[in-house]
């Protein structure tokens, strides 16, 4: 096959075997489910950026204000020489930490890790121009999978997992991820995590049911990702966005609800039947408090060193150290 033929051939002709297996397993479960990482193709990443600017979506701007207030003192206190960021995306908030590293007078190393190579490489190029003294070493990896953290970085290193993305993980998976970070940490290293906090249900539900329908478009985009990557024939117009808070488990659940009885075809999987009203769970977003984070950390060999929230206690930034 020529190079050109390979480029013009649609993605689904060579489906990612891991994706195919995850989708097959998720759509054959009694409660159909898909991993939220499949929101983030280029369009999905754009839609998420749009979500972060919505008036209802408080997490991003709250976390940013916390970072702006704290990083200029925390980074010199820790003496941070390397920043390793899990799920970096557009690295918008990383700049706050990188600027503090530069102020503090150290060139340093930045390792942004993300599943989406498209956003990652764009970001890496831009950051190299903006921070000439910085070594930028992007890593394309799936942090929900067995990924390897880089070795040989200068210490103290700061591992960062921002945005409240830990909320996407069921507790056992969250603990596995935190353990992986813990194993890479030396005693002088720290872990900085953003967590969305438990609060008035109406406030949380509004953040996932915005008036402009951007979250609904973001949710439905996952079906387009499946169409493109696997050659599925989902019609997004036949699925409705639904997001609600589960009080027992303290989490938002996002679903796509089929409006009709239908069979969807996915090459390599077959026909996936839906009855009207049946849903696919596309995301959980767990909300935390200091107690629940203490438990997750303890299970991973970490302890909370510092816990900081905004005045309304909407969101927290946590610094973890090895226990
Ligand atoms: C990127 C996982 C933190 O859970 O709030 C936003 C994703 N989903 N609106 C979140 C999301 C719907 C977001 N995280």
The three-state DSSP-derived secondary structure of 5-31 is HHHHCCHHHCCCHHHHHHHHHHHHCCC
Is the previous residue joined to 215 through a cis bond, with omega within 30 degrees of 0? no
Give 260 Cα–ligand 1 centroid separation in angstroms: 27
User: Average of pLDDT values for 45-50?
Assistant: 93
Query: Where is average pLDDT lowest: 68-77, 106-115, 232-241, 256-265?
Result: 106-115
Q: What pLDDT sits at residue 13?
A: 78
Residue 12 has pLDDT above 90, yes or no: no
Alpha carbon distance 283, 270 (integer Å): 24
145: tokens are 């999978």
Which letter does DSSP use for residue 198 in this model? Answer: P
Which letter does DSSP use for residue 155 in this model? Answer: S
Residues with Cβ < 8 Å from 10, sequence gap 6 or more? 228, 231
Q: What pLDDT sits at residue 63?
A: 97
Q: What share of the chain is helix, strand, coil (3-state, %, to 5)?
A: 40, 25, 35
Q: Which numbered atom of ligand 1 lies nearest the CA of 252? A: 4
In the block, tokens 């190029």 appear at: 125
pTM of the model: 0.94
Q: What is the pLDDT of residues 59-103, one digit of tens each?
A: 999 999 999 999 999 999 999 999 999 987 767 889 999 999 999
Q: What pLDDT sits at residue 151?
A: 83
Q: What pLDDT sits at residue 42?
A: 85
Give 6 Cα–ligand 1 centroid separation in angstroms: 34
Give 265 Cα–ligand 1 centroid separation in angstroms: 28
Q: What pLDDT sits at residue 106?
A: 66
Residue 254 has pLDDT above 50, yes or no: yes
Give 155 Cα–ligand 1 centroid separation in angstroms: 31
Q: Residue of the nearest CA to atom 14 in ligand 1?
A: 165
Nearest to 167 by CA among 257, 74, 104, 87: 87
Q: What pLDDT sits at residue 90?
A: 67
3-state secondary structure 54-92: CCCCHHHHHHHHHHHHHHHHHHHHHCCCEEEEECCCCCC
Which of 44, 48, 215 maximizes ligand 1 atoms within 8 Å of its Cβ, making it the mutation to test the pocket? 48
Nearest to 318 by CA among 306, 302, 300: 306
Q: What pLDDT sits at residue 4?
A: 58
Q: What pLDDT sits at residue 144?
A: 86
Q: What pLDDT sits at residue 169?
A: 97
Q: Which residues line ligand 1 (CB under 6 A)?
A: 51, 59, 163-165, 167-168, 208, 215, 283, 285
CB-CB contact of 283 with 294 (8 Å) = no
Residue 2 has pLDDT above 60, yes or no: no
Q: What pLDDT sits at residue 228?
A: 95
Q: Which numbered atom of ligand 1 lies nearest the CA of 219? A: 12
Residues with Cβ < 8 Å from 101, sequence gap 6 or more? 75, 80, 81, 83, 108, 134
Alpha carbon distance 172, 183 (integer Å): 16
Q: Which numbered atom of ligand 1 lies nearest the CA of 283? A: 8
Q: Strand pairing of 157-161 and 139-140?
A: unpaired
Q: Which numbered atom of ligand 1 lies nearest the CA of 207? A: 9
Q: Which numbered atom of ligand 1 lies nearest the CA of 218? A: 12
Give 194 Cα–ligand 1 centroid separation in angstroms: 12
Q: Residue of the nearest CA to atom 2 in ligand 1?
A: 165
Residue 313 has pLDDT above 90, yes or no: yes
Q: Residue of the nearest CA to atom 1 in ligand 1?
A: 165
How much is the mean pLDDT over the chain?
Answer: 94
Q: Residue of the nearest CA to atom 5 in ligand 1?
A: 285
Alpha carbon distance 304, 323 (integer Å): 9
Q: What pLDDT sits at residue 1?
A: 47
Alpha carbon distance 111, 97 (integer Å): 13
Q: What is the pLDDT of residues 177-219, one digit of tens each?
A: 999 999 999 999 999 999 999 999 999 999 999 999 999 999 9
Nearest to 215 by CA among 89, 39, 41: 39
Q: Strand pairing of 109-114 and 82-86?
A: parallel
Contacts 24+ apart (CB under 8 A), 116-119: 116/40, 116/41, 116/42, 116/45, 116/89, 118/41, 118/42, 118/45, 119/40, 119/42, 119/45, 119/89, 119/90
Residue 5 has pLDDT above 70, yes or no: no
User: Average of pLDDT values for 24-52?
Assistant: 95
Residue 50 has pLDDT above 70, yes or no: yes
Q: What pLDDT sits at residue 6?
A: 58
Q: What pLDDT sits at residue 9?
A: 66
184: tokens are 């890479």
Cα-based distances in Å from 155 to 9, 13, 136, 183? 45, 44, 16, 15
What percent of the chain lies above the pLDDT cut of 90? 83
Give 135 Cα–ligand 1 centroid separation in angstroms: 29
């Amino acid at each position: 096959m020529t190079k050109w033929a390979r480029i013009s051939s649609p993605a689904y002709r060579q489906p990612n075997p891991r994706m195919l297996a995850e989708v097959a397993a998720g759509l054959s479960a009694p409660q159909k489910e898909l991993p939220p990482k499949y929101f983030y193709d280029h369009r999905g990443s754009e839609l998420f950026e749009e979500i972060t600017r919505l008036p209802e979506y408080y997490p991003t701007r709250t976390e940013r204000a916390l970072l702006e207030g704290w990083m200029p003192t925390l980074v010199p206190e820790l003496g941070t020489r390397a920043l390793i960021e899990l799920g970096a995306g557009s690295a918008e908030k990383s700049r706050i930490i990188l600027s503090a590293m530069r102020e503090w007078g150290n060139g340093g190393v930045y390792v942004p890790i993300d599943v989406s190579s498209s956003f990652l490489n764009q970001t890496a190029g831009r950051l190299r121009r903006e921070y000439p003294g910085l070594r930028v070493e992007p890593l394309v990896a799936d942090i929900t999978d067995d990924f390897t953290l880089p070795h040989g970085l200068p210490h103290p290193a700061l591992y960062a997992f921002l945005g409240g993305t830990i909320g996407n993980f069921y507790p056992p998976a969250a603990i596995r991820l935190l353990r992986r970070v813990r194993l890479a940490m030396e005693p002088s290293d720290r872990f900085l995590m953003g967590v969305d906090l438990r609060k008035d249900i109406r406030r949380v539900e509004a953040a996932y049911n915005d008036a402009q329908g951007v979250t609904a478009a973001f949710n439905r985009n996952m079906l387009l990702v499946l169409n493109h990557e696997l050659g599925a024939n989902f019609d997004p117009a036949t699925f409705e966005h639904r997001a609600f808070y589960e009080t027992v488990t303290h989490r938002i659940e996002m679903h796509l609800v089929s409006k009709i009885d239908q069979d969807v075809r996915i090459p390599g999987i077959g026909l996936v039947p839906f009855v009207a009203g049946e849903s696919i769970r596309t995301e959980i977003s767990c909300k935390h408090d200091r107690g629940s984070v203490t438990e997750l950390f303890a299970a991973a060999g970490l302890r909370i060193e510092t816990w900081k929230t905004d005045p309304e206690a909407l969101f927290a930034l946590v610094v973890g150290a090895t226990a």
